[in-house]
Amino acid sequence: MSLEATLTYSETGPDSVMLHFIVENTGNSAEKVTFRSGQRYDYVLYRDGELVEQFSEGKMFIMIYEEIMVAAGDELSFDIPLKELSPGSYKVTVWLQDSAWPGAQATIRFEIE
C-alpha cells in the first residue's frame, strides 16, 4: 500500500489539541483518492477507554464526488481541532474517508491534565 498515514498533535490550550493527520503517497506512481461526500476524514476519540466522540456521528455532509490524484511523494494534510477536553488519557484514531484505502489510518495517545 503506497498511501501511509501519520498522526501527530500539538497542544493549543489547557483543554485542547490540534491533530495533524497526514496521508503521504510513499509509492512510485500517483494514487487516486475518491471522496463521495464533503467528508475527508473520520475519527473516534476515547477518554480513559470510553468512547467520547465519533466525528461523523450526527453530522450531515455535502453530497459531492471528487477524485484527487496524489502524486508520488505528495501528501494530503488535515488539521483537526479537539476542544473542551476533560482531564484524562485520550486515544484517537483518524482515517481517510475512502474505502479503497482502509490502511490510511493512524492512532495517537495524549494526556489532558
Domains of the chain listed by start with CATH number:
3-112 (2.60.40.2360)
26 in Cβ contact with 5 (< 8 Å): no
Summarised one tens digit per residue, pLDDT across range 33-48 is 999 999 999 999 999 9
Q: Please provide the distance, in angstroms rounded to a whole number, between the alpha carbons at the two ends of the chain.
A: 37
Distances, alpha carbon 47 to alpha carbons 50, 51, 87, in Å: 5, 7, 9
Q: Is the pLDDT reported for residue 1 higher than 90? A: no
Which residue do the cell numbers 479537539 mark? Answer: 82
Summarised one tens digit per residue, pLDDT across range 63-108 is 999 999 999 999 999 999 999 999 999 999 999 999 999 999 999 9
Kindly state the average pLDDT of the residues 14-31: 97
Model confidence at 26, pLDDT cuts 50, 70, 90, reads very high
Kindly state the average pLDDT of the residues 13-29: 97
Confidence at residue 59, expressed as pLDDT on a 0 to 100 scale: 96
**pTM recorded for the entire structure:** 0.95
**DSSP-derived 3-state class of residue 5:** strand
